[in-house]
A and B are shown apart, each in its own frame.
Chain A
């Protein structure tokens, strides 16, 4: 991980500027036999891209567009509309509307943060050209780094080098060094393979982007809305239930502006509601198809707190899968969790009741009443 932290945005910027300078000179030459390059679409697109990305400054104390309107989402909730969202809406705005939004937005949150922007008409037009292109071409793939893979390869290379040195080149005199490197390397490789294999098909830490920037921290945390208000089915059915736009509108019929996101995100909801289109939420917690899990069993009969499986949802802006949801995790919990034995349903367990009365046991665990039978979940 550390190895790659040197590739910071600053460094990238150096490389880009160098590259751009080179390309600039070649393009300047190539445009001699047509009209001036600085009037061409290509030029406007290029300038728009640089303005947006902050390679050309947008003015004093005004951050570049991309610093708020990021192309890709990160680990933290970015409340501002992403570059792509703006790009998709730019077609529906004419030049003046767009300009007024950038330079002098009317009110609300956006008026505060866009204070001080004073872009020229040319610059506005250039940004528009860039955004339109972005809208049709998309942002491309999110650049990824694979620290695990790099570590795996580096360790592999080290071991190979140690092996070569041990057998042929013999730079290092002490053979213990080679052996140590190879031993540690093999251990690291095995450990990584094991962790990788065990994690196959599991997705602990999964936190996908959602079509609307809905924050559980705002709703369940700050506003203290009960989980069951939205997840209305958790006490009754297998599925906890995802609220439809109709349910959201119970509050958002009045609440039209958020403290973090302004109007933009709530506007999406209202659009879905008014146009009758589906909101395609991305499912965070997935179990394999051959597992039958019932929320009602756990929440209602078992009186398990939501947080026990889902983590501190009320502190999450972006919802994240807190546990690995593996079978071992389920079974462990069943072994340690007390059954609500006061429920009359369990009155048939005479033996356990007498053991409890005699003090031979202090509690009945879920596994004691067969919670870990195969066909409790697989059928």
Chain B
């Protein structure tokens, strides 16, 4: 019998009393806070307020129309503006929803061929950065606010008067904006001793250097996961954080879907030292130490070369282990793709060598289209540090680069910057560098800025402001124009730049509407550039191979630094939506931690939450199945000390552990110094909550079994269907009957849907302590289950399942509500009327899916009673409340809430159809989770419409419902997960029948 489990405790001890982890003491002491005096106070208050209510008239409300009503702005009707998300990591074309003048939601731009409307959790959450009170509000000099005129004049004067023997350095984040590049070029012309250095929060220097050796240009080529039938990844978390995860997820799932009569799946083999999001989606997973990664690549190179009769290189030592992988690569030939997340140039050279042998260059890798992200170079940064220390740098202008946090060696940067005469920080955040710089020039948020982006060469997109700057900020182009002394607005500059340089390259032409207007409306433009096609110049890899093979193996423990999917490089670390988003692998939020394998934890005697210290950085232990037993992994991007409205440092910055001299940044290191502190720390984890007690909630099969019988792994569905009988009358749906399908094969667990749901439905942030008490409010969660034994990391498999309200036809919640606050609609929706709910939580108790959420406090400022308020994340301030969706009620304390199938969107689209006098088009309604999903794993539609996609999916033999044996008849259905493996997966999961 195959066993599914969610946590180590559950695996070992079986399912325990779920209440055991509840900290009753805290609850009791919290409850005691309300003293007898408080009780009397609030009792008196309520009596008085009832009296006042009864005697007074309602407050007078004003209705103030716009002075001059612009034609395209209608009260209560949203407008969408095309723009681009880019804050230093990936770039995603977006549409911004603006209601009555304020941006309230970000969607993906469906016309983008790269993403097709997909987003990531970070893209969804970036909206909140606009309403961040901690942003710098005015230009400042030595922390005193000054005017823009003075700031511009002073900085310009200082630059003009800089001695000729001193260099000035413009330290930027990677600039992917063509217009901004042109401005920097102008600055270089004006100041010949100006040097631009690029700093990335996460270095891809090794990859660029490798391609510089191979094709003569330091490029990152585009990878085409949609063209690959076999993907071999060495630690590249391409579904989570590597390069363009949203684009790659979209490409990856093209070959992972079976819902359209497809009979083929791509195969994904993953080598890594810890459990990453991408690794957890792989068909085969090799767990290796990071110090051996290069040797595995080398061994694979040798095996592939040997089979093709090509000369082999130095021995890697793992040839036998990768023999089978090499064979599969040779079978797939040019339809294979090998990628590596290593920042070691030599490893990347070998990977490129394998791809060249297989013919992947030109097929799954396009050398002629570059990814322009991450242009940083590690050695240039080290040179910069040196020259700062020597005092040869006269001026340092930091442009959105935040070196005080992002520099690999931030400690020595802080020393170095003291030797620089003029320091300017151009930033949209109140970041760590601001406190070290003389001048701080506040840049606008990207939703307030004019700009453009070219993340992949030839694929341009525009950034346009959707609101006037909230504070006295200017967009980056405007700041650079000011420094150049040019008297032109950033819009005019951008327009002119595009008219002159970009639009003429485009092939699209419309004689009636200007290309500029078309582009501004669509947000996107693809251009063809006359560039010399690149080809592989150098294939001599012997020196790379000898370097890799001579690398010493580390015997002891190793530490891996990775970027977590929610927080990433830490740029948006002060975003409560992202902090509260559980990591897709560990399901922990609000902290980083040292992940160790169960074997290592046993060996060292660590338990979950024991605080250990590695080189004086103290973090709690998290027991993570799937890690190599000699590997500890830890997330970057935490420990940011930027000031916020409520200054709190979340987690610890672990970058100091990875400082290495002269070899570029390596994100793994040997652990020299490890100590127990004897203290414990409770991590806020959503992992052991919502246990479904070993029932057949996730069903999976292998591709070979699926091809024999499409219903394999789902045999029990037919059995259960036969047994259905009910005491209740069957609901009759005369019009629509809404249904949602979730394809477990497409879902990668990236969590974009969770944040999309939070933003759309005003889901509150409850903070670390409330999550510890299982009070998280997310309407949509992604359950994660492990299969196989935890002590065998290679065989460990992960399945994920998004769970929201299942909108049962026989809903157990509905018939226990004493006040009929939750009822069934005529369209199959399980309705929740908040204003009727009295908070008995009977429905919550009776829901078998545990998808109902109770408002223990007022988190968003929904009512005016201060004692009800609990706002650990500062989400109820006037400014932050502007992000709330006016189409969804802000729930008050004491009511239950849950997924509504985005009823506001259903109502909107139905009304659109009615006013147009047309039947509702299938696919017109997209729920927030569906729209945000980069993998398009979620489908929503009308089951009563025979032609709809969901009606077709109803007939799919892979269809099953959660706990369908309970005969709740959910409207949400799942499609079984099919793995591309040979072995026969246990078709009969453990199944308890309830009499």
Contact = CB atoms under 8 A, between A and B. Distances in A.
Given A278-B67, A290-B889, A373-B829, 20 more contacts: A233-B77, A235-B915, A244-B66, A244-B67, A245-B65, A272-B67, A279-B65, A281-B63, A281-B64, A297-B914, A344-B919, A345-B914, A345-B919, A349-B734, A369-B734, A370-B827, A373-B826, A375-B829, A375-B831, A378-B833
Given A343-B914, A345-B918, A237 B62 contact: no
Given A290-B834, A300-B915, A345-B913, A279 B64 contact: yes
Contacts of A235: 915
26 contacts: A201-B53, A233-B75, A235-B915, A238-B76, A241-B75, A242-B65, A244-B67, A278-B64, A280-B62, A281-B62, A282-B61, A283-B63, A296-B911, A300-B915, A343-B917, A345-B913, A345-B918, A347-B919, A348-B735, A348-B736, A348-B919, A368-B734, A370-B825, A370-B827, A374-B836, A375-B831
B54 A200 contact: yes
Given A237-B75, A345-B919, A379-B907, A374 B833 contact: yes
A208 interface: yes
B68 interface: yes
A243 interface: yes
Interface string A266-305: 0000001100101111110010111010101100110000
Contacts of A272: 67
Chain B CB within 10 Å, residue with most, of A233, A351, A373: A373
A246 B54 contact: no
B26 interface: no
Contact of B69 (A247, A283, A289, A368): A247
A196 interface: yes
8 shortest interchain CB distances as A-B pairs: A370-B826, A301-B914, A244-B65, A375-B831, A283-B63, A238-B76, A373-B825, A246-B68
A286 B64 contact: no
Interface in A220-245: 232-233, 235-239, 241-245
Given A238-B76, A239-B76, A344 B917 contact: yes
A244 B75 contact: no
Contacts of B836: 374, 378
A281 B61 CA distance: 9
A119 B859 CA distance: 65
B847 to A, nearest CB: 18
A205 to B, nearest CB: 11
Interface in B876-901: 887-889, 900
B919 A203 contact: no
Contacts of B907: 292, 294, 376, 379
Interface in A151-202: 196, 200-201
B920 interface: yes
Contacts of A373: 823, 825-827, 829, 831
Contacts of B69: 232, 243-244, 246-247
A369 B732 CA distance: 11
A286 B900 contact: no
B468 interface: no
Contacts of B54: 196, 200
Nearest to A238: B76
A312 to B, nearest CB: 21
Interface string B697-741: 000000000000000000000000000000000000011100000
Interface of B: 53-54, 57-58, 60-69, 74-77, 734-736, 823, 825-827, 829, 831-836, 887-889, 900, 903-904, 907, 910-911, 913-920, 942, 944-945
A352 interface: yes
Nearest to B733: A370
A195 to B, nearest CB: 12
Contacts of A289: 889
Contacts, number: 156
Given A294-B911, A301-B914, A378 B64 contact: no
Contacts of B734: 349, 351-352, 368-369
A205 B919 CA distance: 40
A157 B454 CA distance: 83
A296 B65 contact: no
A203 B90 CA distance: 54
Nearest to B914: A301
B65 A243 contact: yes
Contact of B825 (A200, A280, A375): A375
A283 B900 CA distance: 31
B913 A375 contact: no
Nearest to A242: B65
B58 A375 contact: no
A24 B275 CA distance: 95
B915 A348 contact: no
B823 A374 contact: yes
Contacts of A280: 62, 64
Contacts of B904: 292, 379
A348 B944 contact: yes
Contacts of B53: 200-201
Chain B CB within 10 Å, residue with most, of A203, A245, A286, A348: A348
Contacts of A375: 825, 829, 831-833, 900, 903
A360 to B, nearest CB: 14
Contacts of B827: 370, 373
B896 to A, nearest CB: 13
A374 B826 CA distance: 10
Interface in A78-132: none
Interface in A339-375: 343-349, 351-352, 368-370, 373-375
B925 to A, nearest CB: 13
Interface in A319-351: 343-349, 351
A14 to B, nearest CB: 32
B735 A203 contact: no
Nearest to A290: B835
A269 to B, nearest CB: 12
Contacts of B889: 289-290, 378-379
Contacts of A273: 67
Interface in A30-88: none
B58 A286 contact: yes
Contact of B903 (A283, A300, A379): A379
A201 B176 CA distance: 56
Contact of A281 (B65, B831, B911, B944): B65
A119 to B, nearest CB: 37
A241 B917 CA distance: 23
A346 B919 CA distance: 7
B54 to A, nearest CB: 7
A372 B941 CA distance: 22
A233 B889 CA distance: 22
A245 B64 CA distance: 10
Contacts of B825: 370, 373-376
B835 A288 contact: yes
A242 B64 CA distance: 8
A203 B736 contact: no
Chain B CB within 10 Å, residue with most, of A233, A243, A290: A290
Nearest to B942: A348
Nearest to B903: A379
Chain B CB within 10 Å, residue with most, of A346, A373, A374: A374
A283 B61 contact: yes
A210 B60 CA distance: 11
Contacts of A201: 53, 58
A233 B900 contact: no
Nearest to B50: A200
Contacts of A247: 69
Contacts of B917: 343-345
A232 B69 CA distance: 10
A300 B915 CA distance: 6
A236 B74 contact: yes
Contact of B77 (A236, A281, A283): A236
A246 B67 contact: yes
Contacts of B74: 233, 236-237, 241
A276 B77 contact: no
